[in-house]
Amino acid sequence: MRACFALTTLLLSSAVFAGIAPDGAPMDEDFHNCDNLDCGVYPMMKFHLTDKTLSGATVNGETFFVAEGDSNFYKTVFPPTRIRLVFNPANGKIYKQGVDYVATTEGIKLTPTTGIEKAPANFVSTITDDERKNYKVRMTPEFQKYQYAVTYDKNRYFRPSIFGKLGNIPAIAGKVPLKVTFFGDSITLGANATDIYAAPNQPGYVGLVMAYLNTQYPGLWEYRNNSVGGWSTKNAMSAVSYRVMDKKSDLVVLGFGMNDSNSISAIDYKHNLQNVISAIRSKQPNVPILLISSISANPDSSVQNRKLLLSYPKMMRGLTVENKNVALADVTETWLMILKNKRYLDLTGNGLNHPNDFGHRVIAEAVLAAVLGDKY
């Protein structure tokens, strides 16, 4: 399984691609700053990045998927102490409490006369022969058309688990210029964040991370994103020399696992990641490397072996012990925590294996917690 089949042409917008790599995919050859709409002050303000979804007091724009035949009750990740807003992320339409929905101790419940448009009852089950053969589920960004958002206050908190250390990165962040290379699969590339193809045009998690860093510490962060949709750690081993090692980085972020978790054993996954780390370290012996574990795919699909996915973080934790200046942001644990109260279709960007805008914001928070430590 490849993590990016659809919408490949839409995934290239967040990075300033300067050329084509030897593998035939676009490559971000040079580092660039964040003085644009993708990763500057604008997304920081528009998407409320200072309000931490997991560890803060207010959750902004948590999504829920609405379809005919649903129970009309939609749980939030955390019990809400106050519902501030229910809205359509695509057009900004605001729905009225008491008219379109009522607040509950666990989330919201739509009223019988709600003005929220629901997906047809057969929306999820209507799949093509190709989808049935390759994925067993429907795959389309159209799921986002029927995802609405709730902003609410809470008094429960969750901090993503971070293992290992990124050398002195948290200490020097904001004091000296730093360059970051991101290298991963389609999720790190920005898959199914609305970005350029739909409102509200939110960047993927890489753009969000860089927007936050550059707003907090203007002019001190540059980055490039050399991720490739559909890639696994096997691909990473063959391309790390020219996608990462061609330029000196102050921090390298590796985001692989979605495509591995179809068939690559935990031992082989760890072996492959170690080979990538060792290759990078052959040029930069002490460069800090952040590993990001994967979110889960649609549990009804055939594209992921859940046991494999769940076995990877333990192997990644081992790499943080066995290698100096290697850390892990355990996004898998965070994602599974969210799924205790949320359905997969509340969080998906394509119905199969990509997060929606809210999911990308969650991943960004985990990455920032690892990079900034107590400063975040």
- Domain ranges in the chain are 8-49+159-375, 58-153
pLDDT at position 353 over 70:
yes
Is it the case that residue 352 has pLDDT exceeding 90? yes
Q: What would the pLDDT profile of 274-333 be if each residue is shown by its tens digit?
A: 999 999 999 999 999 999 999 999 999 999 999 999 999 999 999 999 999 999 999 999
The class that CATH gives domain 8-49+159-375 is alpha beta
> What pLDDT score does 38 carry?
74
- Per-residue model confidence as pLDDT tens digits over 206-257: 999 999 999 999 999 999 999 999 999 999 999 999 999 999 999 999 999 9
Question: Can you state the angle between helices 266-283 and 306-322, rounded to 10 degrees?
Answer: 40
Work out the pLDDT band at 3, boundaries 50, 70, 90. Answer: very low
For 246-287, what is each residue's pLDDT tens digit? 999 999 999 999 999 999 999 999 999 999 999 999 999 999
Per-residue pLDDT, 34: 84
Q: What percentage of the chain carries pLDDT values higher than 90?
A: 92
Could you report the per-residue pLDDT of 158-196, keeping only the tens digit for each? Answer: 999 999 999 999 999 999 999 999 999 999 999 999 998
For the chain, the distance separating the N- and C-terminal CA atoms, rounded to the nearest angstrom, is 35
pLDDT band for position 12 (50/70/90)?
very low
SS3 letters for the chain?
CCCCCCCHHHCCCCCCCCEECCCCCEECCCCECCCCCCCCHHHHHHCCCCCCCCCCCEEEEEEEECECCCCCEEECCCCCCEEEEEECCCCCCEECECCCEEECCCEEEECCCCCCCCECCCCCCCCCHHHHHHCCCCCCHHHHHHEEEEEEECCCCCCCCEEECCCCHHHHCCCCCEEEEEEECHHHHCCCCCCCCCCCCCCCHHHHHHHHHHHHCCCCEEEEECCCCCCCHHHHHHHHHHHCCCCCCCEEEEECCCCHHHCCCHHHHHHHHHHHHHHHHHHCCCCCEEEECCCCCCCCCCCCCHHHHHHHHHHHHHHHHHCCCEEEECHHHHHHHHCCCCCHHHHECCCCCCECHHHHHHHHHHHHHHHHHHHC
pTM assigned to the model = 0.95
Checking if the pLDDT of 4 tops 70, the result is no
* Residue with more model confidence, 82 or 17: 82
**Of 3 and 222, which is predicted with more confidence?**
222
Is the separation of the CB atoms in 200 and 243 below 8 Å? no
- Asked if the model's pLDDT at residue 100 lies above 70, the reply is yes
Query: What confidence score (pLDDT) does residue 217 get?
Result: 95
Average pLDDT (359-367) is 98
Whole-number pLDDT of residue 15 = 43
Name, in order, each residue with C-beta under 8 angstroms of 113's C-beta and a sequence gap of 6 or more.
99, 100
221-225, strands of its sheet edge to edge: 162-164, 326-329, 289-292, 251-255, 178-184, 221-225
Confidence bin at 17 (pLDDT 50/70/90): low
User: Residue type at 10?
Assistant: L
Chain segment 24-72, per-residue pLDDT in tens: 999 999 999 987 777 888 899 999 999 999 999 999 999 999 999 999 9
- Read off the pLDDT band of 337 (50, 70, 90): very high
